[in-house]
Chains A and B, each alone.
Chain A
């Protein structure tokens, strides 16, 4: 079991560029989510999905897009990168829908936007 995997580990973008952060899990989890972690702030929810084909916005969704075509994958797209999106991004999954179950986190993607 690889658990939750994220690629890339590091990325540098120029303002205005777009990119996709990849997240995959092999635990057959229904619930997947994306968080960003900034210094001095707790992790904040960007988007989440309760199953294939179903996504919803979290606390800080602006500038990000998601889709969930399979149970395993939940990519996060940055449409036009801005310096304010410099952060560490974590993907998480859990067994059942909702955040009420033990969450498994990926290793993170450190993104810098210049």
Chain B
């Protein structure tokens, strides 16, 4: 069964710092990988979706990379802001499956 791991579970950084969040998965037969943001008490917002044939995707200050063969993805956040404070979740869609497999998330706090 696909297992998705996110390390660290929590991260605290000063405003302005660049940071990297990590996601690893055990089965490389994936269709795509998505990064989500979840604010406390709220739903999930999709940030970036990387197809298995792609190496990276960028949106504003966010850049996500995918190395399917090693089972890893990273989410890079440039020039962090207090408004970036949230939990970041990664999820993979396995080939032939109809559901997402989620990690437990990294809770990010950006200190002003």
Contacts and interface: CB of A to CB of B under 8 A. Distances in A.
Contacts of A43: 44, 89, 91, 100, 102
B76 interface: no
Interface string B40-78: 011111100100000000000000000000000000000
B104 A42 contact: yes
Interface string B12-55: 00000000000000000001101010000111111001000000
Tell which of A4, A42, A98, A106 has the most Cβ of chain B within 10 Å.
A42
A59 B99 contact: yes
Nearest to B103: A42
Given A41-B104, A100-B31, A105 B97 contact: no
A99 B104 contact: no
A42 B99 contact: no
A43 B34 CA distance: 13
Contacts, number: 63
B93 interface: yes
Q: In which size bucket is the chain A interface? A: 20 to 34
A100 B32 contact: yes
B1 to A, nearest CB: 9
B45 A102 contact: no
Contact of A90 (B41, B44, B97, B101): B44
B98 A98 contact: yes
B102 A103 contact: no
Interface of B: 4, 31-32, 34, 36, 41-46, 49, 89, 91, 93, 97-105
Interface of A: 4, 31, 33, 35, 40-45, 48, 50, 56, 58-59, 90, 92, 97-108
